[in-house]
Amino acid sequence: MNIKLLTFIVGVSVFAAGCVTHYRYESTGMVTSSSATESRALIYWFADEGGLWYDKDQAVLDSDVTMRVCGGLPKTFVPFGEDPGNLQIRSNSGDLQTVRIEADGDVVPLPEPGRLRVGEGTCGQIEVSRKQAVIKDLIVSVEPEIIILCKNNRDPASYPRGGRYKFAAVTRTTIKDDREPADFCNAE
């Protein structure tokens, strides 16, 4: 193969690829566990952002939004509904809906918990300014709210207590290989 042709192909490949940076987005807050104790919580997700050779900015979500609660199980908010989809935790086997969201956005307890089938209902959602959020709503400096609607009697640690939880402003950190957030449970 001709060395000039090979140099040209490599040059075009590098030029067309552009420059992409890997980011981890995070927001922290406090939630009440099923045993009525306050626990630290973190939501986080990953995105690749950058510019292409023809000056077009690009942002690609690289993961779902995960909530980690100290002493609890991680939960994943996935887009649900019409594209791009509201971020929700869908119900699992044994989940009981214990609270509902009123038209004015208030979260109120249900008099009798309702059993949900797998994927049948929403057990958690993320809101920004009292509206269900899609991933593009979660930008730096926004303060999201997490709403938990369910509990699971077989596994009490699977959800925080039903209610609305305000989280701190979203932050963005450039990452290389370290995809997981630091151990926020033991941070001071």
Please report whether residue 115 resides in a domain: yes
Please report whether residue 39 resides in a domain: yes
Per residue in 46-68, pLDDT (tens digit) is 888 876 655 566 667 678 899 99
Residues 26, 173: Cα–Cα separation, whole Å: 8
Please report whether residue 49 resides in a domain: no
Q: What is the pLDDT of residue 156?
A: 87
Please report whether residue 58 resides in a domain: no
Percent of the chain with pLDDT over 90: 52
Global pTM value: 0.82
Strand order in the sheet with 150-152: 107-115, 95-101, 150-152
Residue 90, H or E segment: strand 86-90
- Residue carrying structure tokens 């690009």: 58
Length of the chain: 188
Full domain range(s) for residue 95: 23-44+63-186
Query: How far is residue 27 CA from its own chain's centroid?
Result: 9
| pLDDT of 13 above 60 | no
Contact 69, 128 (CB under 8 A): no
The total of structural domains in the chain comes to 1
Residue type, position 95, single letter: D
Residues 109, 63: Cα–Cα separation, whole Å: 32
| pLDDT of 153 above 60 | yes
Residues 52, 70: Cα–Cα separation, whole Å: 39
